[in-house]
């Protein structure tokens, strides 16, 4: 008998029919003798509907505490409906809000972080043979205020409950059947990965892969909770996300290719090359609450430097305005920008034990006449900035170069 925490997102419980399908799936696991805790999101579109209502009532600026009070009701509907559907199938079930389970969080409304979970009530119900259905995305602070965990919070709830209960597995059900080597819409030969490490999944998530929320992967890695990504309504083994081990070190050098179109590049030229110049440039950018991604600095012969960095495309104009003010203040020659760029990254723990990965990547791009504008590396990742129009060509070329294409790996 295993203890499994299952999380179903908004599309998986978007209609009564789908909630009935989820109940059927949960019943099968229960019949196999497993103890089941189910975490659900609000029905698809419901949270956005509630936020819109809140904005209408408050001239577009709802008070954070009251907004959490309101949007948390979306999950309360879903947990009750799923519990009803299970009971109707002869499966004893009980539903709880985050407050009732006592998912204790800090008081950062709209983006709270989980501090502690009281698992006593859940364990008592599991021992009594019940399926426990818990509202995702929400908790309660020390003062008894309802809080929500921010975007993707139901994934985090699922992982946190699995950690607290020491569950055998946390299963995240979604609209894809696992984690792929890259986006199948870009590369038709993309393969579903049977297994990937927490480290690799964190990199993939931070670099643009949207299968899992970064916070939930961080939480799972910290508490060593085996995570499995599965399709809500298709059978299959999905993808297991787990700790690195010797077996995974024997897997291919590269596990996946991530990409991000939402990048913009800014360059400040002719900056006096003096100590502290990087802070003078990036300090005001950070002060404007703009996150910087990749950075390249070049020193020229006339004791000036050119400084280039990337930001999210939504922050481009704001960052450009800040940089122009900085250029005037420090006596730089000019400022320029480019929004027609994209970032492509290769990710894999196998890089640690294989030389020549970077040159192989650069060779594949050179064969397609794709110019690399910026390069960033870490122990298990290499990212490059290229012109956006070459993005899909680059991803396909790299997918083939690192032997990730499905036909090339059949029969192994």
Binding-site annotation, residues for ATP: 7-10, 174-175, 180, 185, 210-211
> Which 3 state secondary structure label does DSSP give 224?
coil
Other CB atoms within 10 Å distance of the CB of residue 357: 19
> Judging by beta carbons within 10 Å of its beta carbon (0-12, 13-18, 19+), is residue 134 exposed, middle or buried?
buried
Q: Are 364 and 395 in contact (CB under 8 A)?
A: no
> Judging by beta carbons within 10 Å of its beta carbon (0-12, 13-18, 19+), is residue 359 exposed, middle or buried?
exposed
The C-alpha torsion from 204 through 193 and 388 to 266, rounded to 10°, is 10
Q: Which residues contact 111 (CB under 8 A, 6 or more apart)?
A: 148, 149, 150
Question: Which residue matches tokens 């480019």?
Answer: 338
Q: Tokens representing 295?
A: 């950075």
User: What DSSP string describes 225-253?
Assistant: --EEEEESSS-S--EEEE---HHHHTS-S
Cα atoms in the 13 Å half-sphere on the side-chain side of 400: 13
- For residue 211, CA distances in Å to 203, 258, 386, 405 come to 12, 11, 24, 20
User: What DSSP string describes 281-303?
Assistant: HHHHHHHTT--EEEEEEEE-TTS
User: CA 399, 352, 220, 214 torsion: positive or negative?
Assistant: negative
How far apart, in whole angstroms, are the C-alpha atoms of residue 254 and residue 200? 10
Question: Which residue matches tokens 């508490």?
Answer: 223
Q: Which residues are annotated as a binding site for substrate?
A: 47, 75
Q: Which residues are annotated as a binding site?
A: 7-10, 47, 75, 174-175, 180, 185, 210-211
Closest CA to 117 of 103, 129, 105, 130: 103
């Amino acid at each position: 008998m295993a203890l499994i925490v299952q999380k179903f997102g908004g599309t998986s419980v978007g209609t009564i029919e789908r909630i009935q399908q989820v109940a059927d799936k949960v019943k099968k696991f229960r019949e196999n003798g497993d103890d089941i805790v189910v975490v659900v999101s609000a029905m698809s579109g419901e949270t956005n509907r509630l936020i819109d209502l809140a904005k209408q009532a408050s001239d577009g600026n709802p008070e954070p505490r009251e907004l959490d009070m309101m949007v948390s009701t979306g999950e309360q509907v879903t947990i009750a409906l799923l519990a009803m559907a299970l009971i109707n199938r002869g499966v004893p079930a009980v539903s709880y809000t985050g407050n009732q389970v006592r998912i204790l969080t800090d008081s950062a409304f709209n983006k709270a972080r989980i501090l502690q979970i009281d698992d006593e009530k859940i364990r008592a119900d599991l021992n009594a043979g019940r399926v426990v259905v818990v509202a995702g995305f929400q908790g309660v602070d020390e003062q008894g205020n309802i809080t929500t965990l921010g975007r993707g919070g139901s994934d985090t709830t699922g992982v946190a409950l699995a950690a607290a209960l020491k569950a055998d597995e946390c299963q995240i059900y979604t609209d894809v059947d696992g984690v792929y080597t890259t986006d199948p819409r870009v590369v038709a030969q993309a393969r579903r990965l049977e297994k990937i490490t927490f480290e690799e999944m964190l990199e993939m998530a931070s670099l643009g892969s949207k299968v899992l929320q970064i916070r939930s992967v961080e939480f799972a890695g910290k508490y060593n909770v085996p995570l499995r990504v599965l399709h809500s309504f298709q059978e299959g083994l999905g993808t297991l996300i787990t700790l690195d081990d010797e077996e995974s070190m024997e897997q291919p050098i590269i596990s996946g290719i991530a990409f991000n179109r939402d990048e913009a590049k800014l360059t400040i030229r002719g900056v006096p090359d003096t100590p502290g110049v990087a802070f003078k440039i990036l300090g005001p950018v950070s002060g404007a609450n703009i996150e910087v991604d990749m950075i390249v600095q070049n020193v020229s012969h006339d004791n000036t430097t050119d400084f280039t960095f990337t930001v999210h495309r939504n922050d481009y104009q704001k960052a450009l305005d800040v940089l122009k003010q900085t250029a005037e203040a420090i006596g730089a020659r000019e400022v320029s920008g480019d929004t027609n760029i994209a970032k492509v990254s290769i990710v894999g723990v196998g890089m640690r034990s294989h030389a020549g990965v970077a040159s192989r990547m650069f060779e594949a791009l050179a064969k397609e006449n794709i110019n690399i504008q910026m390069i960033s590396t870490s122990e298990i990742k290499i990212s490059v900035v290229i012109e956006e129009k070459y993005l899909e060509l680059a991803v396909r070329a790299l997918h083939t170069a690192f032997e990730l294409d499905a036909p090339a790996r059949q029969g192994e």
